[in-house]
């Protein structure tokens, strides 16, 4: 049994921390939200009064935070120096590559091993322990982190050196965002041409247009396996989070002078949908903007 500090108990972090506790590890959890801490306690975690307290005797430190500025602040002010030097540090947040590399460099300079390990899979996968982890860091750091990541995920992949996990995550989600838009456009067009959505799904899911956004995450209610579309686009992966990842991808593309027109178009469309009040809906709900059935909420 290891002592695990888990910092950041949002929609994703809560399920991840619970799975570590379920596996028999002593999980000291911290979040700014009292409700999140209460939920973690109910799942078998131990409440910590601060991030530094959580990390103070940890063998493993896992962070799951909103943005790069939060990650940098927590490591600089609460973890480095507070955690034992033997602890493996794992940041599962999705942040920009530059900040990820800086935080890992700072950790290594302070005598720690650290990986960036952003995730793919959404809330349901976080709760089920079936996430995919994309990891950046040294071979030694990855080997130290891997056993704990495998408790929380079905796939743990070493992408390369520091920041490589973040690079893989934003490239993957740029592809996902663009392919979802194309899938939504296609279903909208098919229906306007008189095709039944289920019939079109049966054809295209077995033809050259097949893609994950169609077969595993269909944006049309009642078509294919159950998805957020069948729950009025609640749950799943929020539009605001997809937009965050697309913006990170565009920043990364600009930094290396990469030409990403489809990614840029996806970012523009998701920005528009978020501004129309869709930020809290699953990202597949963008089909409602595309087929003109979206009704902007009164408070948006």
Considering 3, 39, 169, 288, which one is annotated as catalytic? 169
- Alpha-carbon span 109 to 122, nearest angstrom: 33
3-state SS, residue 159:
strand
User: How far apart (Å, rounded) are the C-alpha atoms in residues 70 and 258?
Assistant: 27
Cβ–Cβ < 8 Å for 129, 122:
no
Concerning whether 154 is annotated as a catalytic residue, the answer is no
* CA of residue 135 relative to chain centroid, distance: 13
Contact 260, 249 (CB under 8 A): yes
Q: Cα(180)–Cα(284) distance, rounded to whole angstroms?
A: 7
Contacts of 26 (CB under 8 A, 6+ apart): 1, 2, 3, 4, 46
Q: Do 176 and 126 meet the contact criterion of CB atoms below 8 Å apart?
A: no
Query: CA quadruple 185, 191, 196, 200: dihedral positive or negative?
Result: negative
Q: Residues with catalytic annotation? A: 169
């Amino acid at each position: 049994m290891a002592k695990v500090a888990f910092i950041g108990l949002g929609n994703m972090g809560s399920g991840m921390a619970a799975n570590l506790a379920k596996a028999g590890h002593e999980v000291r959890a911290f979040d700014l939200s009292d409700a999140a801490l209460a939920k973690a306690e109910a799942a078998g975690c131990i409440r910590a009064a601060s991030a530094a307290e959580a990390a103070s005797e940890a063998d493993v430190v896992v962070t799951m935070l909103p943005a790069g500025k939060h990650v940098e602040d927590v490591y600089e002010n609460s973890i480095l120096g507070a955690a034992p030097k033997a602890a493996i540090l794992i940041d599962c947040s999705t942040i920009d590559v530059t900040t990820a590399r800086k935080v890992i460099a700072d950790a290594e300079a302070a005598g720690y091993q650290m990986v960036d390990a952003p995730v793919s899979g959404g809330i349901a996968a976080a709760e089920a322990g079936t996430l995919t982890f994309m990891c950046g860091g040294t071979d030694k750091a990855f080997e130290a982190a891997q056993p704990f990541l495998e408790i929380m995920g079905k796939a743990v992949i070493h992408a390369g050196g520091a920041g490589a996990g973040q690079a893989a995550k934003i490239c993957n989600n740029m592809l996902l965002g663009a392919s979802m838009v194309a899938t939504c456009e296609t279903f909208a067009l098919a229906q306007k041409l008189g095709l039944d959505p289920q019939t079109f799904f049966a054809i295209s899911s077995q033809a050259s247009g097949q893609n994950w956004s169609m077969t595993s995450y269909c944006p049309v209610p009642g078509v294919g396996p159950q998805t957020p579309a069948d729950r009025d686009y609640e749950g799943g992966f929020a539009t605001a989070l997809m937009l965050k990842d697309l913006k990170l991808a565009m920043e990364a593309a600009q930094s290396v002078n990469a030409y990403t027109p489809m990614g840029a178009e996806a970012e523009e469309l998701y920005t528009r949908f978020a501004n129309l009040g869709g930020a809290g809906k699953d990202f597949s709900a963008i089909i409602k903007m595309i087929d003109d059935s979206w009704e902007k909420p009164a408070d948006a």
